[in-house]
Amino acid sequence: MKILQLPKVTKKKVNLKKLELLAKIIRESLKEEAKYLEERSKKDENSLTGRFL
Amino acid sequence: MKIVLPEDFFRIVNNCHLLLDTSVFIDSSISPVEFGNFFNQLQSQGVALVTIEPVVIEFLKGSPNKEKFNAKQSAINEITGTCIPLTSDIFDNLRRLVELYKEEGKAVSLTDLLLGSTLLRYEKGLYLLTKNTTDFPTNIFNLVTHLNLIHRRSIQSYGIYNYIK
């Protein structure tokens, strides 16, 4: 099997200030996503309990 | 948080393409300055930071609104140079890889299998950076080096893997 050539990548420095600003928004998002999953899992547990009542 | 690297870390990864798993983007959002500096150090050593589309989707999914979705997209673009295209060869490798995993493959996500099959396709020059060390067993992949995240009350490890027949 022929080994493919990896794509050429333009190297650019990561802008730390920009990444910090984005990270703040992403952290909020990750918290909300975790909360959603927790609530969904509770609902699933409730439906499971309901099935056996 | 502090990123602690083995002494020969940069010698090992020098001039490689480093394939980033979803955990890298999550941890970069938790500790952006530490990871941002680390990425810049890597790039100064000729390391190209890349990912694949399924990793991007795994990171984006669940975003509660457009602002948060866009912030994630911008962070990925800020960190990575490109997405490695998932060619038909990579999908062909999936079956071969699933066969190699045997019963351990049952719990491995499709994204991790695609990361693995991308390593199989490119072999030399492509390394994977992942915190999910459970799903990249060393009977299939080669653990070339590692790094540690030292937190106030815990230590987490990342593995750097490649695949050589």
B33, B40, B72 ranked by CB distance to A26: nearest: B72
Mean pLDDT of chain B: 96
CB-based contact, B78 to chain A, within 8 Å: yes
Q: Which two tokens stand for residue B22?
A: 């979803």
Kindly state whether B75 is in contact with chain A, defined as any CB-CB distance less than 8 angstroms. Answer: yes
The reported pLDDT for the residue numbered A49 is 64
User: Nearest-5° angle of CA B11, CA B141, CA B122?
Assistant: 70
Q: What is the DSSP letter of B134?
A: G
Q: ipTM for the complex?
A: 0.93
Confidence tier at A1 by pLDDT (50, 70, 90): very low
Q: Is the pLDDT of residue B65 over 90?
A: yes
Give the pTM. Answer: 0.93
Percent of chain B with pLDDT over 70: 100
- The amino acid that residue B73 corresponds to is Q
What does the pLDDT average to over A17-21?
Answer: 98
Q: At A51, is the pLDDT very low, low, confident or very high (cuts 50, 70, 90)?
A: low
- Give phi and psi for A31, each to the nearest 5: -65, -45
Q: pLDDT, tens digit, for every residue of B83-103?
A: 999 999 999 999 999 999 999
**R_g of chain B computed on alpha carbons:** 16
Place of tokens 């230590």: B155
Element (H, E) at B19: strand B17-20
Q: Reduce the DSSP state of residue A47 to 3 states and report it.
A: helix
Q: How confident is the model at residue B116 (pLDDT cuts 50, 70, 90)?
A: very high
Q: Which residues of A touch B67 (CB under 8 A)?
A: 25
Contact A11, B43 (CB under 8 A): yes
Given this model, what pLDDT does residue A42 score?
87
pLDDT of residue B55 exceeding 90? yes
pLDDT value for A43: 83
Is B68 in contact with A28 (Cβ distance < 8 A)?
yes
Cβ atoms B26, A30 nearer than 8 A = yes
Other beta carbons less than 10 A from residue A4's beta carbon = 15
How far is the alpha carbon of A42 from chain B, nearest alpha carbon, in Å? Answer: 18
When pLDDT is averaged across residues B123-150 and rounded to a whole number, the result is 95
Mean pLDDT of B141-151: 97
- Give the chain A residue nearest B81 (alpha carbons): A9
**Could you tell me the two tokens for B155?**
């230590």
> Dihedral (C-alpha) B117, B120, B125, B127: value to the nearest 10 degrees?
50
**Secondary structure in 3-state letters for B64-115:** CCHHHHHHHHHHHHHHCCEECCCCHHHHHHHHHHHHHHHHHHHHCCHHHHHH
**pLDDT, tens digit, for every residue of B28-40?**
999 999 999 999 9
pLDDT at residue number A5: 77
Residues in B touching A4 (Cβ below 8 Å): 87, 89, 121-122
Determine what percent of chain B is predicted with pLDDT higher than 90: 95
Residue B148 pLDDT > 80: yes
**Torsion angles phi and psi, residue B14, rounded to 5:** -45, 125
Q: Examine the pLDDT at B147 and tell me if it is beyond 80.
A: yes
Q: Say what angle helices B22-30 and A16-52 make with each other, to 10 degrees.
A: 110
User: Are the CB atoms for B79 and B20 separated by under 8 Å?
Assistant: yes
